[in-house]
Chains A and B, each alone.
Chain A
Amino acid sequence: NAGVTQTPKFQVLKTGQSMTLQCAQDMNHNSMYWYRQDPGMGLRLIYYSASEGTTDKGEVPNGYNVSRLNKREFSLRLESAAPSQTSVYFCASSDSGAGDLEQYFGPGTRLTVT
Chain B
Amino acid sequence: AQSVTQPDIHITVSEGASLELRCNYSYGATPYLFWYVQSPGQGLQLLLKYFSGDTLVQGIKGFEAEFKRSQSSFNLRKPSVHWSDAAEYFCAVGASGTYKYIFGTGTRLKVLA
Q: Which residues of A contact B (CB under 8 A)?
A: 4, 31, 40-45, 48, 50, 56, 58-59, 90, 92, 97-100, 102-108
Secondary structure at the B interface, as helix, strand, loop or mixed, is: loop
The answer for the CA separation of A97 and B99 in the assembled complex, in Å, is: 5
The answer for the CA separation of A12 and B26 in the assembled complex, in Å, is: 38
Instruction: Evaluate contact between A45 and B101: CB separation under 8 angstroms.
Output: yes
The A-contacting residues of B in range 45-104, CB under 8 angstroms, are 45-46, 49, 51, 90, 94-101, 103-104
**In the assembled complex, which residues on chain B have CB atoms less than 8 Å from the CB atom of A43?**
44, 90, 103
**Once A and B bind, how many residue pairs between them come within 8 Å at the CB atom?**
62
CB within 8 Å for A99 and B9 given contacts A42-B105, A42-B106, A90-B44: no
Instruction: Evaluate contact between B100 and A48: CB separation under 8 angstroms.
Output: yes
Instruction: Evaluate contact between B43 and A58: CB separation under 8 angstroms.
Output: no
CB within 8 Å for A100 and B96 given contacts A41-B105, A43-B90, A45-B101: yes
Instruction: Evaluate contact between B46 and A98: CB separation under 8 angstroms.
Output: no
The answer for the CA separation of A39 and B103 in the assembled complex, in Å, is: 13
Instruction: Evaluate contact between B100 and A100: CB separation under 8 angstroms.
Output: no
**In the assembled complex, which residues on chain B have CB atoms less than 8 Å from the CB atom of A103?**
44, 46, 101
How distant is A91 from chain B, measured CB to nearest CB, in Å? Answer: 9
CB within 8 Å for A58 and B103 given contacts A4-B43, A102-B34, A105-B45: no
CB within 8 Å for A99 and B99 given contacts A4-B43, A106-B43: yes
